[in-house]
Copies of this chain bind each other. A is one copy, B any other.
Amino acid sequence: MREVAIVGIGQTPVGEHWDKGLRHLAVEAVLDAMQDARIKRADALYVGNMLGGELASQEHLGVLVADYAGLDGIEAVRVEAACGSAAAALRQAVLGVASGEIDVAIAVGVEKLTELVSKCTTSYLAYAADGDYEASVGLSFVAINALLMQRYMWQYRVGKDEFGAFTVNAHANAVHNPNAMFRRAISREQYARSKMIADPINLLDSSPIADGAAAVIVAAADRAAAFSEKPLRVAACSIGTDTIALDNRQDPLWLKGVERSARKAYQAAGVGPKEIDLFEVHDAFSIMAALSLEASGFAEPGTAVRLANEGKYSLGGELPICTMGGLKGRGHPVGATGLYQVVEAALQLRGEAPAAIQVEGARRAMAQNIGGSGATVITTILETMEGR
């Protein structure tokens, strides 16, 4: 299996793009990444997207984006794994290049959740859950996460307000990310006074729905220098899964999908959690950040919230997370999120993050994208190419 590298990255700002459709956002990110990699053509295009059909009446996004990006005739497909769609698209690009059949591949994630005000996005997001046994009885994603958070607080005796550490950290970093949706800091007081959404989840526990697109170019590692001065080795891009429905899990607070995905990734990269310099965690809700940190091996069960309050996951701490704002601060355009995480990890490793949020000396970054309530998990580990 040949080694694969990321040789180009691109993104649009995250926010409400009322003037652009899915194709325009995706093309913008693709062309941005192609320019970064100094390429005019590629061999394959993988488009991550969740709700194009429901919200924009558009399936078949692979060839649509190829067509509008000027990539006439290119191999192109769409990959979907709910909120994990973008990193799942990256996974296909990596396997394609690893196979030797594809030399240069583009992975782009795109989502437009503010497309139509008359449609209820929350209902459509529930299509990521088990339609017959969760969504159909009214269990939305905020409700699923509320159940998990309630259970966590009870089982580990953690106070509600302690979760604020995640939000405060994410927003503090988002302030400096020009592409983030919410570029303003949040105080612990604001968090504590925030409107309740689904007890105990308040507004500031919840990542915002948004529009956006992010893209990367991958190529064989041994040819990476032809495209980029700062190529990054894809040391791992691994998928692990769990039951789709929460109620089929033995321990709801242990995300087996995260454990499986992270374990595969560590094994592929030949490293452990201690050797990761920064972690773009899937903080769709603050409880998800805590559970992911624990199942990824960055905290013992029940300790992540305390560690967050002690500063372990802040800039300058042992393992900075959400360094560009995370899902909470940057925004969560679901089918694009996984590639925003990877693009941000790449910026950190290239030393190109805005100065105030650059993780000094970062050599190895991990990004983790989740579909559903931990059902599909894609963990990517990137490394700088000097030495190993």
A interface residue numbers (CB < 8 A to B): 1, 21, 23, 44, 50-51, 53-54, 56-64, 66-67, 72-82, 88, 91-92, 95-96, 98-102, 124, 127-132, 135-136, 238-245, 248, 256-257, 260, 371-372, 375-376
Q: CA A124 – CA B57 in complex, angstroms? A: 8
Q: Contact: B1 with A100, CB < 8 Å?
A: yes
Query: Given A51-B53, A127-B59 in contact, is the A78-B81 Cβ separation under 8 Å?
Result: yes
Chain B residues, Cβ within 8 Å of A62: 80-81, 88, 241, 376
Chain B residues, Cβ within 8 Å of A132: 21, 23
The smallest C-beta distance from A129 to any residue of chain B, in angstroms, reads 8
The smallest C-beta distance from A84 to any residue of chain B, in angstroms, reads 8
By beta carbon, the residue of chain B nearest A243 is B67
Chain B residues, Cβ within 8 Å of A61: 80
The smallest C-beta distance from A227 to any residue of chain B, in angstroms, reads 20
Q: Contact: B91 with A101, CB < 8 Å?
A: no
Instruction: State the copy count for this chain.
Output: 2
Chain B residues, Cβ within 8 Å of A88: 62, 77
The smallest C-beta distance from A240 to any residue of chain B, in angstroms, reads 6
Q: CA A129 – CA B57 in complex, angstroms? A: 10
Question: Which 3 interchain pairs have the tightest Cβ spacing?
Answer: A98-B99, A58-B131, A75-B239
Q: Report whether over half of chain A's contact residues are helix, strand or loop; otherwise say mixed.
A: mixed
Query: Given A63-B241, A260-B73 in contact, is the A135-B57 Cβ separation under 8 Å?
Result: yes
Q: Contact: A130 with B64, CB < 8 Å?
A: yes
Q: Contact: A376 with B131, CB < 8 Å?
A: no
Q: CA A66 – CA B375 in complex, angstroms? A: 10
Q: CA A130 – CA B23 in complex, angstroms? A: 10
The smallest C-beta distance from A244 to any residue of chain B, in angstroms, reads 5
Chain B residues, Cβ within 8 Å of A102: 95
By beta carbon, the residue of chain B nearest A135 is B57
Q: CA A372 – CA B76 in complex, angstroms? A: 13
Q: Contact: B82 with A241, CB < 8 Å?
A: no
Q: Contact: A240 with B75, CB < 8 Å?
A: yes
Interchain residue pairs with CB less than 8 A apart (15) = A1-B101, A23-B132, A53-B54, A53-B127, A54-B54, A60-B375, A62-B81, A63-B372, A67-B243, A67-B244, A74-B241, A75-B238, A79-B80, A79-B92, A99-B100
Chain B residues, Cβ within 8 Å of A239: 44, 75-77
Q: Contact: B79 with A78, CB < 8 Å?
A: yes
Chain B residues, Cβ within 8 Å of A101: 1, 95, 98
